[in-house]
Amino acid sequence: MTDISRSAEFDAAAKEFEEVVKNHNPSDEDKLEGYALFKQGSLGDNTKPEPGFFARTDKAKWNAYNTKKGITPEDAQKQYVDFVAKMKEKYGS
């Protein structure tokens, strides 16, 4: 994996996302979207093999992350920051 620089805004959004998840229990869809954008923004394209059928949680995470393939880490970081702002509006901070 490449070492991708992360912006301070991205790191702050990650902390805010953790708080939203901890305090407001957002939908699984929202949690997976946040997970996928965070992974793409942090690591770039998903290079791990697809988990097996019975690893349902891991497979859902893998599928969400894999949908972001091709988005540059910088763009994913911007999308993540915007997504977290929407989550805070939707669920509260």
Percent over 70 (pLDDT), the chain: 97
Q: Can you list the alpha helix ranges (DSSP code H) found in 25-72?
A: 28-43, 56-66
- Asked whether residue 43 is domain-assigned, the answer is yes
pTM: 0.92
Domain count, the chain: 1
Domain that holds residue 27: 8-91
- Residue ranges of E strands in the chain: none
Q: What share of the chain is helix, strand, coil (3-state, %, to 5)?
A: 70, 0, 30
- Asked whether residue 80 is domain-assigned, the answer is yes
- Asked whether residue 2 is domain-assigned, the answer is no
73-84: average pLDDT = 98
In this predicted structure, the answer to whether residue 22 has a pLDDT above a threshold of 90 is yes
- Asked whether residue 75 is domain-assigned, the answer is yes
- Asked whether residue 1 is domain-assigned, the answer is no
In this predicted structure, the answer to whether residue 1 has a pLDDT above a threshold of 60 is no
Domain containing 21 — which CATH number? 1.20.80.10
pLDDT value of position 3: 64
The pLDDT tens digits for 50-66 are: 999 899 999 999 999 99
